[in-house]
């Protein structure tokens, strides 16, 4: 498509979304909940259509020799479609944040002031590879009365298009304003460049994907950006950890689903328990197909194991999204905290310890969106937190941090009621 035509097309979509945003705000909670439940049913009813479209994307990915980790994120199964459906049902059960009063008070002059939640307006979401994001974002934006413009990656174009088509049909059938849900079916990279300049029509952009995508969006956008950055997540095994618990948590955090942002990328182990803990842990990880890249002390302890690579400086700040794990032995809790704050991405980090004082220090001093004690980092997830779903995991500090769900998709306004007051 010629650049002029593309600009006109995208601006038309953004204008439609902007107009719809004022109408969507008037749709009542009961209607939104009904639509969400019908969307959930439609996903199951039309799952063969979704899987058929997904197979086209998977065939293209394999033909292009895309990594297995990427293909895992791209794949839709009966189970994953059921999870998408369940998520929409959960969102329908949650309280509607729109029009809820955050706080209210009365001034001495009689003015009544209320701080009230309102939708952000029009949200642009730019994302890669994971088609379930399409359903999650549609559900959350509808419940929070935000219009959404979806621009998925070209590798998942068929899957995303099928999901959008099914869900948007349900919305329109139930009277949701046209333009509330929008999908950009152009795979041209310049489409993103055009969208990022429409700051008069789009209120916020949320990029979800690799480091390159997020940096590009941040650098080019005239629209405020909420970054959902990479997940360099750590599990620290303290000197006073239950080592059996630590092993189960570390294995889950790395192996259960390595291609997602809340998977552990670096395992830190206190020197006092390293000799007892690491040999069994490394054996279990290697049996699961995990490559180990260790510090000098780790490699010395694991000298009887084959294929333990030497960790480089770059490894400590790498998000592998694969069965690869960096392992470092540290001298103290202070060293562990220092390592996490320096090399981490401020996403999710966990301490395994029976010492409450050490746990409290870790919780207070680690500067991450989600900090755990004796639990896997894999729980950093909107659904697991009881939020129904998530737009992603924000590593920003403004305006949202951690799993971004319904409340994070609202801003607020002040409502002031008087009975004739004037300022003197």
Question: How is residue 369 written in tokens?
Answer: 């969106």
Tell me the CA distances in angstroms from 130 to 155, 160, 227, one per residue in order.
9, 9, 17
Tell me the CA distances in angstroms from 150 to 123, 127, 166, 188, 419, one per residue in order.
9, 8, 14, 14, 45
272: CATH: 3.40.309.10
pTM of the model: 0.90
Question: How is residue 213 written in tokens?
Answer: 């995508």
Dist. CA 331–CA 334, nearest whole Å: 8
Which DSSP state fits 312?
Answer: P
Dist. CA 418–CA 409, nearest whole Å: 29
Angle, helices 78-93 vs 132-143, to 10°: value is: 10
User: Would residue 423 count as lying in a domain?
Assistant: no
| Same domain (yes/no): 194, 287 | no
Question: How is residue 327 written in tokens?
Answer: 């392992």
Which one, of 169, 227, 246, lies nearest residue 399 by Cα?
Answer: 227
Which one, of 178, 79, 191, lies nearest residue 126 by Cα?
Answer: 191
| Same domain (yes/no): 97, 33 | yes
CB 80 within 8 Å of CB 257 = no
49: CATH: 3.40.605.10
| Residues 13/15/20/22 CA torsion (nearest 10 deg) | 160
**Greatest CA separation found in the chain?**
83
Q: What is the pLDDT along the chain (424 residues), one digit of tens a residue?
A: 788 899 999 999 999 999 999 999 999 999 999 999 999 999 999 999 999 999 999 999 999 988 888 898 899 999 999 999 999 999 999 999 999 999 999 999 999 999 999 999 999 999 987 899 999 999 999 999 999 999 999 999 999 999 999 999 999 999 999 999 999 998 888 999 999 999 999 999 999 887 888 999 999 999 999 988 789 999 999 999 999 999 999 999 999 999 899 999 999 999 999 999 999 999 999 999 999 999 999 999 999 999 999 999 999 999 999 999 999 999 999 999 999 999 999 999 999 999 999 999 999 999 999 999 999 999 999 999 999 889 889 998 888 999 999 999 999 999 999 999 999 8
| Same domain (yes/no): 206, 313 | no
| Same domain (yes/no): 175, 279 | no
Burial of 342 (0-12, 13-18, 19+ CB in 10 A): exposed
Dist. CA 257–CA 108, nearest whole Å: 57
Burial of 221 (0-12, 13-18, 19+ CB in 10 A): buried
Dist. CA 412–CA 115, nearest whole Å: 6
| Same domain (yes/no): 18, 62 | yes
- Give the count of domains, the chain: 2
Which DSSP state fits 356?
Answer: H
By residue count, the chain amounts to: 424
pLDDT of res. 70: 84
| Same domain (yes/no): 36, 153 | yes
User: Would residue 132 count as lying in a domain?
Assistant: yes
User: Would residue 349 count as lying in a domain?
Assistant: yes
User: Would residue 205 count as lying in a domain?
Assistant: yes
Q: At 151, phi and psi to the nearest 5?
A: -135, 95
User: Would residue 141 count as lying in a domain?
Assistant: yes
pLDDT of res. 187: 83
| Same domain (yes/no): 356, 307 | yes
| Same domain (yes/no): 170, 41 | yes
Which DSSP state fits 96?
Answer: P
Dist. CA 150–CA 68, nearest whole Å: 25
pLDDT of res. 237: 98
| Same domain (yes/no): 192, 324 | no
Dist. CA 267–CA 236, nearest whole Å: 6
| Same domain (yes/no): 51, 155 | yes
What spatial distance separates the first Cα and last Cα of the chain, rounded to whole Å?
A: 60
Dist. CA 360–CA 23, nearest whole Å: 47
Dist. CA 21–CA 34, nearest whole Å: 19
Helix (H) or strand (E) holding 1, with range, is: none
User: Would residue 385 count as lying in a domain?
Assistant: no
Q: Strand order of the sheet with strand 308-310?
A: 308-310, 291-294, 324-330, 264-270, 233-237, 348-352, 370-373
| Same domain (yes/no): 298, 262 | yes
Domain holding 21, by residue range, is 3-228+391-417
User: Would residue 422 count as lying in a domain?
Assistant: no
User: Would residue 239 count as lying in a domain?
Assistant: yes
DSSP per residue, 292-312: EEE-HHHHHHTTTSS-EEEPP
| Same domain (yes/no): 189, 305 | no
């Amino acid at each position: 498509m010629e650049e002029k035509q593309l600009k006109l097309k995208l601006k038309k979509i953004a204008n439609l979304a902007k107009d719809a945003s004022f109408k969507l705000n008037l749709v009542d909670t009961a209607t939104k909940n009904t639509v969400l439940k019908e969307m959930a049913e439609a996903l199951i009813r039309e799952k063969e259509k979704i899987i058929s479209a997904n197979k086209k994307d998977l065939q293209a990915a394999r033909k292009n020799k895309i990594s297995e980790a990427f293909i895992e994120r791209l794949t839709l199964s009966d189970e994953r479609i059921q999870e998408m459906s369940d998520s929409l049902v959960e969102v329908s059960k949650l309280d509607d944040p729109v029009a809820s009063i955050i706080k209210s008070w009365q001034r001495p002059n009689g003015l009544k002031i209320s701080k009230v939640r309102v939708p952000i307006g029009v949200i642009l979401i730019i994302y890669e590879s994971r088609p379930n994001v399409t359903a999650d974002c549609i559900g959350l934006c509808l419940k929070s009365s935000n219009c959404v413009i979806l621009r998925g990656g070209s590798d998942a174009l068929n899957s995303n298009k099928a999901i959008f088509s099914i869900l948007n049909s349900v919305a329109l059938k139930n009277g949701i304003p046209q333009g509330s849900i929008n999908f950009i079916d152009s795979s041209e990279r310049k489409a993103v460049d055009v969208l990022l300049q429409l700051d008069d029509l789009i209120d916020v952009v949320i990029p979800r994907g690799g480091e390159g995508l997020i940096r590009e969006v941040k650098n080019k956008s005239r629209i405020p950006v909420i970054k959902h950055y990479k997940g360099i997540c750590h599990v620290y095994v303290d000197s006073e950890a239950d080592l059996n618990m630590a092993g189960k948590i570390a294995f889950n955090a790395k192996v259960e689903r390595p291609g997602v942002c809340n998977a552990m990328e670096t395992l830190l182990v206190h020197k006092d328990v390293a000799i007892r803990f690491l040999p069994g842990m490394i054996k279990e990880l290697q049996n699961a197909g995990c490559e180990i890249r260790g510090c000098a002390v780790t490699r010395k302890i694991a000298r009887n194991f084959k294929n333990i690579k030497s960790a480089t400086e770059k490894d400590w700040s790498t998000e592998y999204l694969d069965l690869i794990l960096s392992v470092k032995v540290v001298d103290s809790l202070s060293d562990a905290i220092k390592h996490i704050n320096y090399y981490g991405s401020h996403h999710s980090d966990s301490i395994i310890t029976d010492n409450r004082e050490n746990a409290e220090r870790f919780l207070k001093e680690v500067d991450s969106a989600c900090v755990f004690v004796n639990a896997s980092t894999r729980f950093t997830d909107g659904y697991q937190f009881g939020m129904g779903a998530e737009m992603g995991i924000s590593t920003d500090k403004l305006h949202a941090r951690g799993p971004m769900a319904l409340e994070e998709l609202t801003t607020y306004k002040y409502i002031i009621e008087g009975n004739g007051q004037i300022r003197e």
